[in-house]
Structure 1
Amino acid sequence: MTLFIVTSIIFMRVVCQQIILFASSFSDKKLVNLENWTLYPKNLLQTGFGSLSVDDDDYAGLYSMNGVQQNSYLAGMYKIYESIPAHSTLIIKAKTLMQNFGFGGTGTCRVRADGLLIIQIANQLDLINNYKINSFSVPYQSSSSAVLIEFHFEAIGDYQSLTFGFREFELYYKTCPPGCTFCQTSELQSNDCNFWSLDQRQLFDQSSLNEGWTISFKDKKQYRMDYCQDDKALNLIGFALPTESIERTLYLQPHYKMLILYKLLLLGADSIVFSYFYFELNDVIVSDIKFATYLKTSQICKHKNPSSMGDYVQQVKYEDFNQNTILKLRIFTQGRTYFQKLKWSIRNLEIFIKKCHPDCTESCFGPRANQCSRQKYPKFQNFINYFTEPLFTDTQEWQMITPIQPKSPNYCSGISIFGGYLQLGGDHYIQRIITLEDHQTIQISFKLYQIDNFNNDILYVVVDDQIVYQTVLEPIIDTSKATILCGIYEDYDLIVKISTPIIQHTQKKSIIQIYTNQPTTSQGYWGIRDFIIKQDSIIYIQELKQVRFLINDWINFAWIITQKVQTIEICKNKNYIISNNILGQPSKFRKIIKNLPLHSKIRIQFIIILTYTTINEDIIQINYSLDQNENQITKNLQLINDQYCETATLSKAYNFDDFINHSNTNLFLILSIDSISINWGIRDFQLSYSDS
């Protein structure tokens, strides 16, 4: 006896839509592999497929998918299909085989698409009727460009002797009406769906980037990524805990309606009646999502809970009228005590919008030109990009500050100087980041210790990447004019008093750099003492004055020595600027971006790349400092055993995408990481702004 239950019913009218084959699996008579399907449970002693006899067709899963439950999980196979063209319906076809090689029993195959049961096949087998072949073709209403197909097998009776397999799997899609990039089953004519356009598509394919998504707990945000299985075929934002939420802020083009699709994966939930999730937009809960966690399923991801009935998937859809261009998405659970063993994640998010008419300059409430609105929402315009070329060589005045801290201060003629013999020549800057009060002018002065041989080299004083003072360091020809200080050639030493002119300046956060243009072969060295900075002609900072710098003072000096040369390395055939934290000092990455147009918000996007030899700490912090605000933003990054850069060295990368209130004409940006056990760098930096 064979029982078919089809749970997906669809009503269609005749329209100009085609049915097209998208993918197929297991069509050869003899199989050689599982064609990127994932099998549970894995058995390294079996191929994952088999046949009734040597001459018969192979079936995927046969002799591997049997009635023996692993804890409470059913045997199963799954595969995710992505990049399916625009469609309203999927059609799934396959041939199944159930075999009994014992006393017999009832075998049940359940096929699920995005967690929804689309067909159930039950066969009663015994010693005489010991196998059964069935074929099916079933529609599944879907508009997502990705679908997760699962085959589950359960047996009752002599379950150890029952096995299941399938072959000739085919996935078809029914195209949308002409001119539509998205459609639903109710949209059967071009006029019904041609206003939809794709605005966002994220967390697809095998991208190992988080695309700006964070996992949050009590306002502590973490950038996490993990793999569903050890084969690394399916990437996830990370396994979120019941007490954590998954969040992302997105910018949408001006629109009047939106539709959001994503897959929610619930992994290892305890067997209860229902589990609930909530979907929140801009701090308002707009829908709840219910899982029936008492249903038996199979395992999808590596996280396992012995008291669970399996893993669950649900295709979430939310559609509503909306005009706000800034969209904060948040997904979270109730976080109750019986949830503690589950983990969860999301994938395959798409946002479709119905755009405003091109004549609408602000917003709209419909597609026509007479439906424009004067309500203003943020509209971001790109201002500047850096490091977007695959193999860039110009660092464009970005500086990776990798401090070099000598073991002890240098002494020159009995007193301490910053820099000096064998510490500071032509290869390095000295620099200091300062935070000033409100002011109109600044002036800088210090004593320069010119040690050993110089040859008309130039000393530069630079404020915010602009040279404000320069002077020639002339060689000492008349040794009677020299001062015996330190170094090898004492007769050639000199103390020079440096004082810049009064500089027009209003930025509260600034960087001061002092360096020379000495060649690398130069035998001259230099250092400074008695540094003074005045704002509006009043002394604001006075430092490096002690006769002898104490070791603690030396370690905590705001002044640092750093290399001039920026290091560029390659990852995934693309260049990026990288730090060198193995010197024992945390690096900083900084840039001053000037002359922004009038604005109230900025958007900062970039990719950060981390390389490390071992994982000494699971979580590291990255800090933003913008203008005068120290550590305005702190993010937490998870290190995992991964080779993102496709080399032997461990590496990971994350997307940053932040919307920040900001109105200054210039942006003084500093990025820093709190770890000295990793190297890090960035690429694909984008800055955009909004005046509303």
Structure 2
Amino acid sequence: MILRFCFLILILVKPIDCQKVLEFSSFTDESFTDLDGWNLIVVEQQGSGIDKPPSNTQSYAGFNSIYWDRSSDVFIAFGHNYPRQGIIKYYNNLKSHKALLITFQIYIFNNSNWPAGNCNVELFIDGQKQYIAMPNFNTSQKSIKQHVELSMTHTAKSIFIQFSGILTDANKVSLGIRDFYLYSIPCPMNCLFCRKTDKLEDECIDWQLASEFLVEIDRNLYNSDGWTINQANPKINLHKSTDCNSESSIYLQFIGFMEMGDSIKKTIILEPHFRLKIQYLQILISQEFAPSIYWYAYLNGKIQYQVGYMTYILSPPVCSKLLDKTRGDLIQQVEYESFHQDTLVEFATSASQSIQGSKTRWGIRNFQILIKKCHPNCQYSCFGPLETQCQNTKYPKFIIHENNLNLDTFSDDQEWQVLTLFQFTNINQCNNQALLGGHNNLQGRHFIQSVYDLKPHVKIGLSFKVYFIDKFYDEQFYVIVDGTIVYQYTIPSIVDSKKDMPYCGIYAEIDQIMKISIVTIPHTRSQVIIQIQTNQPDTSISSWGIREFILTLNGIPNIKNLNDLNFSNQNISPWKIALQNSPIWLCGSKSYIGGINALDKDSQLRKTFKNIPIHLQIRISFSIVTIQSALRQTQFILQQNINDSKKVDYLQIQDLKYCGGIEYTHLFKFDYVLDHKEDDIFILLYIEQMNAQEFWSFRDFSLSYNNEKTQS
């Protein structure tokens, strides 16, 4: 009997170099029971997703789960358009290589009584089709078993493997795979990156990994790594999931998922170099029909390359749900290489067009930058690897000014202030006059604060009356403007009883009153934060308060409050009482400032940094962990005030447990560069849109400065 069938296999030319290294293998035992990190994308999984074809002793991954049956009610919801089904695997730890060799065995079975028709089965590597089988079934040919070997050029650290099948005109078909082996053709010794033609170490040793982001596999540990999502239409109630899970349990994380009009960016600091290579994995979810869509990639605001997607061709699902009946998802490894010298790089990418009402979403992960560095003796820059190729062109170089809160565990807040602000509930009377603060209101860690927006000016002044009530023991009284102490006074422990003292406290004749005037405070910022406090211990029973407050602008009175004889709660805005507290909270094995019952919806975190050398830019980086007992569908808004600069970030909350435990905890990292010239920095952080019993914490702060402009 002659067996007749049509079977097309696309195989690329093998690399000339025959050396190979096994990266991983799957489904190699006679009867395996584990999918080994592979994930089925199927309408209905049968059991473990592993089965043996009729009259076979070997197991196949996906068999009887990757199936189509025109007579089954399971497929009624899909009508005449049968879904693409298959099995996928993402591997994130390839050794340095220039090509891949893949071998596997595939079994396709038509279980109809009168088998006929055909189906298509394809293998995609990083979204690129590498293999296709189109069997023609008949009564003599019900099954096809094929051993396949193929190779391809490949350099990325990660690989996305996808088997996908679709029924054409057959009635009942299933498929499975086994004996899957992935080999890499390694780079020459000590090379982190190489091309297919590189055979010697000298041809590729110059490449070094400069930065790597968005590589975490563990869903609970995945974070934005300092990337910023710029929404075309910012909405705090827009829920953006980073999960790619579809019907599978893959839970592969991407930064995103963004709408067509959104963009992402990341500022990266590099060492002096003359060549740059960028690699990352990009995905489009639920692609919609269009002639083509391009993503532009920018370096420092200039388009450097574009990434195209053929959205007029149907593709298999990766993250889309099968029942959504989308046109599929598109995925690819993006690579870019060019001569490059700038050490301050802002990478950004966005779609070339924003399709109104489009449901297409997109994201990236596994972002790497490799560079060829200058010779060690090159002080500034270069145009090649040799010492003779050094140049004197200066590029930005950031110098650390302060690093703190970066040990795994710490017990010192390093002068970061956690402030919880709340309104006064009552106004005290002292000597028949209203008093902001007063007995039992301002003690220990409590102080008062007000914030004012100001017109252009060069200096401000402050004056007010202060009442010191009951017994003090030479504690210090402070007036602080934008984090800087502008007035300090030692409250005497011995009081002259002959003076006319108001009686406000619980002890007679030991209260004090004085007028404080600070005529000139150099100041140019558009907003001022005024803080008045003492260093009383928590156990202190003495208290204090103020009234008759005046703020001058360039010597002219501008703001007056607390002046009425008996002012009320309605007259004290914007003054608030604050509780100063800097608790240490433990997340897993790491310490954080703030945390549960410390940094909440009414809290602020702030610190002043002094004596920064002459500079043009600053770089700020830090980490935040949010804590919630229940999930939410809206985003938090992180407000960051750095002197007069204001930065806003939206924090997307998911069901992650970064710290372990029962609460939902989510890690966010921030890293950005700002233009800045002042010799001091006042940083104020707070989160808006928080509810009760939602908290946040802070660590890993770094501040550096640069005195060179980016070359245009």
The alignment's TM-score, normalised by the length of structure 1, stands at 0.89
Question: Which residue in 2 is equivalent to 1:293?
Answer: 311
Aligned-residue offset at 1:591: 1.0
Q: C-alpha distance in 1, partners of 2:490/2:587?
A: 41
Written as runs of structure 1 = structure 2, the 5 A alignment for 1:241-640 is: 241-302=259-320, 306=324, 308-335=326-353, 337=355, 340-432=358-450, 445-452=463-470, 454-463=471-480, 464=483, 466=485, 468-474=487-493, 483=501, 485-487=503-505, 489=506, 491-492=508-509, 494-497=511-514, 499=516, 512-532=530-550, 542-554=560-572, 556-557=573-574, 559-578=575-594, 586-614=602-630, 618-627=634-643, 629=644, 632-640=646-654
- Of residues 210, 215, 221 in structure 1, which corresponds to 2:224? 210
Deviation of 1:504 after TM superposition, in Å, equals 7.9
Higher mean C-alpha displacement, 24-33 vs 131-140: 24-33
Structure 2 match to 1:89: 99
- 1:45 & 1:348 partners in 2: Cα distance? 33
Q: Tell me, what secondary structure is at the counterpart of 2:195?
A: coil
Counterpart in the other structure of 1:6: 10
Structure 2: distance between partners of 1:12 and 1:221? 53
Amino acid at match of 1:620: F
Aligned-pair identity (%): 29
The range that moved more, 420-429 or 227-236, is 227-236
The aligned residue for residue 130 of structure 2 is: 118
- Could you say what secondary structure the match of 1:552 adopts? helix
- Equivalent residue, structure 1, for 2:110: 100
Aligned residue pairs total 680
Distance 2:368 2:600 in 1: 44
1:582-637 per-residue CA deviation (whole Å, 9 max, x = no partner) reads: 9996322211111112210111111122223445561332222222x1x5222222
Question: C-alpha displacement at 1:338, in angstroms?
Answer: 7.8
Distance in 1 separating the partners of 2:243 and 2:633: 19
Residues 144-178 of structure 1: CA deviation (Å, up to 9, x unaligned):
1001011112233334x210111122211111112
Task: Say if 2:402 and 2:704, in contact at 8 Å, map to a contact too.
Answer: yes
What does the per-residue CA deviation read over 1:221-243, in whole Å, with 9 as the maximum and x for residues that have no partner? 99966211274731111111112
Q: 2-side partners of 1:216 and 1:275: how far apart?
A: 19
Aligned to 2:72: none
Which of 123, 140, 159 is the aligned partner of 2:152?
A: 140
2:87 to 77, 96, 115: 77
Alignment of 1:639-658 (within 5 A): 639-658=653-672
TM-score (norm 2): 0.87
Letter in 1 for 2:7: L
Alpha-carbon distance between aligned partners in 1 of 2:252 and 2:160, rounded to the nearest angstrom = 11
2:508 match: secondary structure: helix
Contact 1:402 1:580 (C-alpha < 8 Å) held by counterparts = no
Equivalent residues of 1:476, 1:482 under 8 A apart: no
Deviation at residue 220 of structure 1 after TM alignment? 5.8
1: CA distance, partners of 2:381 / 2:234: 34
SS of equivalent to 1:370: helix
Q: Which amino acid is 1:99 matched to?
A: F
Return the offset for 1:491. Answer: 2.3
Letter in structure 2 aligned against 1:46: G
Checking the alignment, whether the CA contact within 8 Å between 2:280 and 2:333 is kept in structure 1 is yes
Return the alpha-carbon distance in structure 2 between the equivalents of residues 197 and 498 of structure 1: 64
Whole-Å separation in 1 of the counterparts to 2:234 and 2:382: 36
Tell me: CA distance 1:515–1:243, structure 2 relative to 1, closer, same or farther (3 Å). closer
Residues 232, 519 of structure 1: CA spacing in aligned structure 2 closer, same or farther, 3 A cutoff? farther
Do 2:463 and 2:518's aligned partners in 1 also have CA atoms closer than 8 Å?
A: no
Aligned-pair distance for 1:468?
4.3
| Residues 678-689 of structure 1 mapped to structure 2, 5 A cutoff | 678-689=694-705
CA distance in 2, matches of 1:584, 1:528: 28
Whole-angstrom CA distance in 1 between matches of 2:34 and 2:302 = 47
Query: Which residue pairs with 1:666 in the alignment?
Result: 680
Matched letter for residue 8 of structure 1: L
Paired amino acid for 1:660: L
CA distance in 2, matches of 1:419, 1:580: 28
Aligned partner of 1:194 among 188, 205, 229: 205
Query: Following TM superposition, by how much is the alpha carbon of 1:501 offset from its aligned partner in structure 2, in angstroms?
Result: 8.1
Structure 1 residue 13 displacement after superposition: 5.2
State the partner residue of 1:33. Answer: 34
